[in-house]
Each structure stands twice: as structure tokens, then as C-alpha cells.
Amino acid sequence: MMISRRIWQKRPPTSSWIFLRPYTSQISVPSPSPSRFPVQTPSLIGFLSSYAASSFRSVYKISSLEMPSMVSRCCYSNHALADLPASGIVDVPLAQTGEGIAECELLKWFVKEGDEIEEFQPLCAVQSDKATIEITSRYKGKVAQLLHAPGNIVKVGETLLKLVVGDSAVPTPSSDVLESVKPPGSENSPDSKLNKDTVGGVLATPTVRNLAKLYGINLYDVDATGKDGRVLKEDVLKYAVQKGAADGPSTASVSADCREQLLGEEETYPQTFAEVKWYPDDKTVPLRGFQRTMVKTMSMAAKIPHFHYVEEINCDALVKLKASFQNNNSDPNIKHTFLPSLIKSLSMAMSKYPFMNSCFNEESLEVILKGSHNIGIAMATQHGLAVPNIKNVQSLSILEITKELSRLQQLAKDNELNPADNSGGTITLSNIGAIGGKFGAPLLNLPEVAIIAMGRIEKVPRLSDDGNVYPSPIMTVNIGADHRVLDGATVAKFCNEWKQLIENPELLLLQMR
Amino acid sequence: MMIQQQGKKVGLPLMNLVRLNRTPILKQLHLEEKLLRKSSTNWCIINDGTDTPAIVMGISGKPSELLEIGSVLRDQVPVIKRFTGGGTVVVDKGTVFVTLICNKDDVPGVQPYPRSIMSWSGLLYNQVFKGIADFQLRENDYVFGNRKFGGNAQSITKNRWIHHTSFLWDYAEGNMAFLKQPARAPEYRM
């Protein structure tokens, strides 16, 4: 092992910038000149003129002005200490840690609620893409509340934790006081008599204070059951019930007015005081995995001009075919369903109408007729909508399709589909009928140009030629197509071909190799 | 000490260079983390290959998502979770590791956040790979054209940062089969 010391090489100034950052065109990267860049608290103006948006400001005493979601009293100047409130709760947001990065994963906390912290003390570690970053505190204070747990994804600008800063010199018996930071809405309270109830001194969150104000309740009168003597929502509601029962009709009329206000604001409050129930809070569900992907893909799909073509298919022959497969099935592991036959006949029809199995390149206005028939099957799993595809259906037998379908379904159920299974599809089948419904109007699975939603097979009455009514298993299908590439005639002819193959499966033999 | 003082007079910080050869990657990572957290000088560590193949994941890597666990267990490949973020890599004797550990104030023009660090490292490696096969830093990867040959990762602490890279000078194709395709791919590969 060789250790040597080298004088740092002076980097030659370069004028060219080889840097491909497709999503960050608005951010200017600093010039790499070797001149010393002042690092200790430069003036805000000077700093901003060099960096557009994304300096790591929670390390330095410079706050970012671009955080729209910072609601509470975070400072907006680099003189953080001078502008600080004498006492109060400060929301510490996740500062921008690098341009284009919208969120980070919280890895671990270095502090816990109640800890005293110094300025620049590390608070937590987060990970964004390739970097783990320690977030340090701008203020000296005490940790009031941690708002995220390790593993959470935190958006840039979202509050990480709340700090109590400065000397909270409020004369109350409890040592750590949460001074009320009034939410903007509460300033508009019409009843001035109620204002005295929100004077600081009682531990309660702004929501609870608001609730008490609306009910005309003095927080001092409420029995607090929360930690450190904090008044909780349940305490206020309980007191309100008791008060309502004691005060009788006069309270009921007050409550009626309050109810209108409440319903206007929150819509979760009870009809009368006597029936106060504890309504559950809203639950926020962050979208991950398949659901998250679906937001993106469906937003893009909605921009494409779709048209829909509906047809009914007689499934008599299909039903008989499936029964025959099942009766002659010697392998207990294989379960025969309608889908594989539908998939194979779809592929046969696409061979005649290759435009149905294509993708469209907007920039070059070219349609790529795909060689393989990779038929995607939409699957509803507990993790969301997955669309794995069966590759090269044109070369597979119905039995092979059955096995492959079963394999994909199992993987989807276990959330073990790999990206290769999910990508490369050329057309999608959505068997929504397995769950229910007559038919749907599906949205394209880009970059494909066609998608087929199949309703369930149901027995409906039909008239024969001689006027008799007979039952017929009918499946309604809805083909969604990209009208930039496909027209009604093409889709109609394709569908006729597919319908013919389903209704007369012996025709598949004609084309079998 | 004299050199350090003289260096400071010129206005440029010093960097310690450590050259290793086939040092096990786990040992290297231990060394790096210690230097990042405990040392107060700048370091450049170069390790020419690791002794046996290993899989190295980022700090929040989940084996079930990233690895073909069956193959990994069958072949008893060591799996290491490092202290920096980023993705997964299979390393072996054909991997060249380069690590830079610096005080946040010591590198002119570099601020302690990922993009700034990578701008600077991109320039540094531009000099190294000058004229070779269209070398670039694309998004977060070191590439020739659009072929990634080196990933990198950072960890940024209060006063220092580390940026380390595994360059695949050579690799065994079979070893790549231990890794699953990651769910996210950079835009340049879409």
C-alpha cells in the first residue's frame, strides 16, 4: 500500500460542458473556474446570482425561496437568527439537494423527539438517487415532532420535523410548551368572544384549538389526556358532549351554527352534540410501484386521440373448445381457460392486419410494424394493475400460451414480475369481464396502438332464423385504437377476422404450421 | 506537515493518494467510511480490483428487488450493503475502484451536494478519458456513448463528502446474471 501526498492539481479552466441532463435545463451549473468560491454565509443576493435554485441550503444559513409548501414561519433571509421569532415552532423542510430531484428516502434519524439540538447538528440522513446526505439543523432548539419514519419517501419542500426554537418563555406549569401557531383560517373567526380561548398556555395543536373555538369551549376547562398535558381532539369532543348534555337547548342552537361552519370546513363532524362520534381521520396513501407508474402512463395515454369499436362475439365454439381441452387434459397442473384461445386467435388475426401490432413514432411520423406478437394481459393484483406480456405468441401453441400465462399470473400475484415481463408488449388484452362488466372503454398502453377490453361471457337470448329464441353465450369486446395510426375500417376488418376465428376455431387449423 | 503548510500558502488543499491492489472491497469500504467520518484531510483511494467477486448494493438496496437470490445463494456470492446511496454492482478483479473523500470547503467551486460533486468529478474523468470513445457523465453514470461502464455514489455529511466509483475495466458476463434489471432506468437508456 502506497500513501503519498500530492499537491492538488490546478484544473485547467474548461469552457465546454459535456453534460446531458434532459430534465434540468432551467438550472445553470456553476462555472468551474479555480477561483475560490466564498463558502461562509455569502450575501443572499450574491449566492442566488450564482446558483439558480438548487443549493443545499439546509446546511448553510441560507433558506431557499423556492419552497412553495413551506407554510409556517421558516425564515426567508440568510440572517436566520436575526429574523427568528423569539419563540415558536419551526417547520424544517427537506431542502433541495440537487436539481431535478423531487424526493428522497429518509434513511435514519440522528435525533428523537425532545432532544436539544445545536445549530448545524446533523438531524437525519436521506438518500436521493445516488447520494446519502446528512441534513443539519439551521437552528438551535428542541425537537418537537418527527414527521416521518425511516423508509418514508419525503418530497422536497415537505416538512421533515418540527423544532421549537429560541426561549419559549410562556408561564405554564409544563416545561415544553407548544406555542400556538395559528393557521391562517382561524384569523377569520367571527366571534371575538371565543378568541380569548386560544391564548397560549395550553398544549394543543392548531386543529384542536380551532375545534374548541368553533364549539365555544375554553381549553382550560377541558380535561387533557395527551402527553405532557396536551389537549387532544377527543378531549374536546368529549367535553363538548358533556357540555351539550348539561347546557341543553341553548348549546344545541350554537352547535347548529357551528355545524354549518364545520361542515363547510371539514365535513366530518356529527349531526348533533348528543350523537358525537369519533370520525376517523383522512388517510393519505402514497402511490408506489404499479400505482405510481399508472399515474404516469395513463396521463400520457389520455393525450392520444382514441376511438373505440365495439363488437359482440358468439362464444359457443369457444366454450366447447375449452371444455374439450379440459376434458382431455392429463396434466393436473394446467388449468384451461378462455384466454389462451383468444390470445392465439388474436395473433392470427394480427398477422393479416399488422398495423394492429405496431407502435407509432411521433417525432418521425413513422409506424413500426412489430415482428413479434407480444400480447400483454392486464392483471389486477393487490399491488395494482400489472400488464405483463407473453412474448412471440405467433410462435407459441395454445398449450404453451396457457403455461406462460399461468407463470405470469403467479409472478404478478407475488409481485415478482421482472421488467422484461412488463416491457416490450405490442398489444394489450384486458379481460375485465373476469371481474365483471359488459365492456369497457380502455385506454391505450403506450406505445401500443390498440387495446382490447373483453366483457364477460353472458348468456343472452337470440333469435334464430326461424324466429325461435335460443340462448347464446355472448362476449362484448371494445377495441380502443390510436386514431393517428388506425382507422375505423382497419379495426373493423381486423375485428371481423378475429371474431371469425373465435366463432369458428377450426379455421385456426387452416393457418397452422 | 511542511508540505501541508506550503500547500496552504499556495491556496490549494492537499489530497492523500492511497493505491491498493486487489484489496477486498469490504475492507476498502470500511476504510472509506472511517476516513469520511473520522479524518479531516482529503483522500483519493484507487484499488485495482477486488480479490473475489462480490455484489455491492446501495444503502437502501433490497436484495429481493435487486438480486436473483437463488443464483446468489447457490454460488455463495458475498453481498455487501455500502454506506452510500446508488445502485447495485457486481465487482471482481476486473473492477477499478476510485474514491474521492474531500472536505466540503477544499475543492474550489464544488458545493456539498450531488450534482455539484458530479459536475466536478465528470470534469476530472474527462481529463482521464480524453479522446476515448465518447466518454461522458450522463445523468448519474459514466458512459462511453450510451454504454455505462461506471456507476457512482455519494455520501454527504456535515463537513465532508465522498464520491466513489466502480469502473468496469472488465467483467465476467456470467456474474451479471446475479443482478435483476433495476426498476428505474436513466432517461438516456429509455
User: Alpha helix locations (H) across B22-178?
Assistant: 25-38, 63-66, 69-75, 114-128, 173-176
The pLDDT score that the predictor gives to residue B189 is 65
The pLDDT score that the predictor gives to residue A493 is 95
B85 vs A18, A22, A127: nearest CB: A127
Task: Report the distance separating Cα A357 and Cα A450, nearest Å.
Answer: 7
- Mark yes or no for CB contact B111/A133 under 8 Å: no
| Tens of pLDDT, residues B106-143 | 888 888 888 889 889 988 898 888 878 788 887 778 88
Q: Any chain B CB within 8 A of the CB of A22?
A: yes
The pLDDT score that the predictor gives to residue A476 is 92
Other CB atoms closer than 10 Å to residue A469's CB: what's the count? 9
**Residue of B35, B47, B71, B111 to mutate for A, most A C-beta atoms under 10 A:** B111
> Cell 418563555, residue?
A169
Pair B17, B34: CB distance under 8 Å: no
**Residue of B156, B158, B179, B190 to mutate for A, most A C-beta atoms under 10 A:** B156
The pLDDT score that the predictor gives to residue A246 is 52
The pLDDT score that the predictor gives to residue A488 is 92
The shortest C-alpha distance from A5 to chain B (Å) reads 5
Pair A317, A502: CB distance under 8 Å: yes
Q: Distance from first CA to last CA of chain B, Å, rounded?
A: 51
Q: Any chain B CB within 8 A of the CB of A127?
A: yes
Task: Report the distance separating Cα A57 and Cα A84, nearest Å.
Answer: 17
| Tens of pLDDT, residues B150-161 | 888 999 998 899
B138 vs A20, A54, A120: nearest CB: A20
Which positions of chain A have pLDDT values less than 70? 1-87, 97-100, 166-201, 244-278, 513
The pLDDT score that the predictor gives to residue A99 is 56
Average pLDDT on B181-185 reads 71
Q: Give percent of chain B with pLDDT exceeding 90.
A: 40
Closest CA to B122 of B140, B98, B109: B140
Q: Is A487 a catalytic residue?
A: yes
A:B CB pairs within 8 Å: 158
**Which has more pLDDT, A497 or B185?**
A497
Domain ranges within chain A, ordered by starting residue: 88-165, 306-510
Q: In a 3-state reduction of DSSP, which class is residue A122?
A: strand
The shortest C-alpha distance from B163 to chain A (Å) reads 9
B85 vs A35, A54, A129: nearest CB: A129
B9: closest chain A residue by CA? A7
pTM over 0.90: no
- Mark yes or no for CB contact B11/A132 under 8 Å: no
Pair B97, B160: CB distance under 8 Å: no
User: Alpha helix locations (H) across A381-422?
Assistant: 398-413, 419-422
Interface confidence (ipTM) of the complex:
0.77
The pLDDT score that the predictor gives to residue B7 is 52
The pLDDT score that the predictor gives to residue A260 is 43
| Beta-bridge partners for A389 | A376
- Mark yes or no for CB contact A1/B19 under 8 Å: yes
**Which has more pLDDT, B7 or A328?**
A328
| Tens of pLDDT, residues B11-42 | 677 899 999 999 999 999 999 999 999 999 99
Close Cβ partners of A318 (under 8 Å, ≥ 6 residues apart): A338, A341, A342, A457, A473, A502, A503, A505
A278 CB burial (10 A radius; 0-12, 13-18, 19+): exposed
Task: Report the distance separating Cα A203 and Cα B127, nearest Å.
Answer: 61
- Mark yes or no for CB contact A107/B158 under 8 Å: no
The pLDDT score that the predictor gives to residue A197 is 42
The pLDDT score that the predictor gives to residue A418 is 80
Q: What is the amino acid identity at position B105?
A: D
Q: What architecture does CATH give domain A88-165?
A: Beta Barrel (2.40)
Looking at domain A306-510, its CATH class is alpha beta
* Cis upstream peptide for A447 (omega within 30°): yes
Q: Any chain A CB within 8 A of the CB of B2?
A: no
